[in-house]
């Protein structure tokens, strides 16, 4: 009986230990993925209300002849998705900071083309 109990406890401890390692590895991989994703973004706060910032973003993308594939606007956040002709995806998040200011975050492609993102941001600022 002691041997069975000992084996049961040993297996339980090993399973808990293994589960912890899996969680640690998954957490580390998730953290690295998040850091990679955030690393490719260009972000700036502007002293312009959300609605006007969304309109300026739409105008800027159209002036660059970029296809807007999706626009979602809620009370305090807007998301605009567009594409270059080479199918690189553009993600633009606009968040309301205050009644009179917004945060613009732009990411181009999976790797985060900062040069392209900066070019889009500069064009948006012309329309603000």
- pLDDT by residue, tens only, the chain of 128 residues: 666 656 655 565 555 555 555 555 555 545 444 444 455 799 999 999 999 999 999 999 999 999 999 999 998 999 999 999 889 999 999 999 999 999 999 999 988 999 999 999 999 999 99
Q: What are phi and psi of 60, to 5 degrees?
A: -65, -45
For residue 70, how far is the Cα from the chain centroid?
Answer: 15
**The predicted structure's pLDDT at residue 70:** 96
What end-to-end distance do the CA atoms of the chain give, in Å? 78
């Amino acid at each position: 009986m002691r041997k069975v109990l000992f084996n049961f406890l040993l297996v339980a401890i090993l399973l808990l230990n293994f589960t912890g390692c899996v969680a640690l590895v998954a957490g580390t991989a998730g953290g690295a993925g998040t850091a990679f994703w955030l690393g490719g973004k260009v972000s700036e706060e502007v002293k312009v209300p959300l609605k006007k910032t969304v309109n300026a973003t739409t105008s800027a993308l159209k002036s660059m002849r970029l296809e807007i594939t999706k626009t979602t606007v809620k009370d305090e956040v807007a998301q605009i998705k567009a594409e270059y002709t080479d199918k690189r995806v553009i993600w633009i998040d606009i968040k309301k900071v205050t009644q009179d200011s917004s945060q613009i975050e732009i990411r181009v492609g999976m790797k985060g083309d900062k040069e392209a993102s900066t070019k889009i941001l500069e064009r948006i600022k012309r329309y603000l």
